[in-house]
Amino acid sequence: MPLAVRTWAPCGQTPVLRVPLTHDHLAAIGGLTPDGRLFLQTQDHAYRSPDVVRFLQVLLRKVERADHHDEGEPRDECDDAENRRTRMPAPAAAIA
């Protein structure tokens, strides 16, 4: 459906838009890293839980790789999920 259209109808009647339904849309998901980088992914079907998990795993790898590259020191192989959560704080809007 178009986002903004001009419509008209006789006085007192609600205008009705007739738009053919198609499946030619894209689904999009994005993530913003703590340092301000934007990652965006699109696909031709709706995102389901496995798709979101896969996107977040890739995003986490990219953030960790960037952290490792910036620090210039070897990454601890015993880095567990709890350490990852503390390194990437939730945005303030998600907490409120």
Note the pLDDT tens digit of each residue in 3-55.
667 788 899 999 888 878 777 788 999 998 888 889 999 998 899 999 999 99
Residue 14 forms part of a structural domain: no
Residue 63 forms part of a structural domain: yes
Residue range of the domain that includes 56: 24-72
Residue 33 forms part of a structural domain: yes
- As a three-state string, the secondary structure of 35-95 is CCCEEEEEECCCCCHHHHHHHHHHHHHHHHHHHHHHHCCCCCCCCCHHHHHHHCCCCHHHH
Residue 96 forms part of a structural domain: no
- Total number of domains constituting the chain: 1
Residue 93 forms part of a structural domain: no
> Which pLDDT value is given to residue 41?
93
Confidence of residue 91 (pLDDT cuts 50, 70, 90): low
The reported pTM is 0.49
Residue 45 forms part of a structural domain: yes
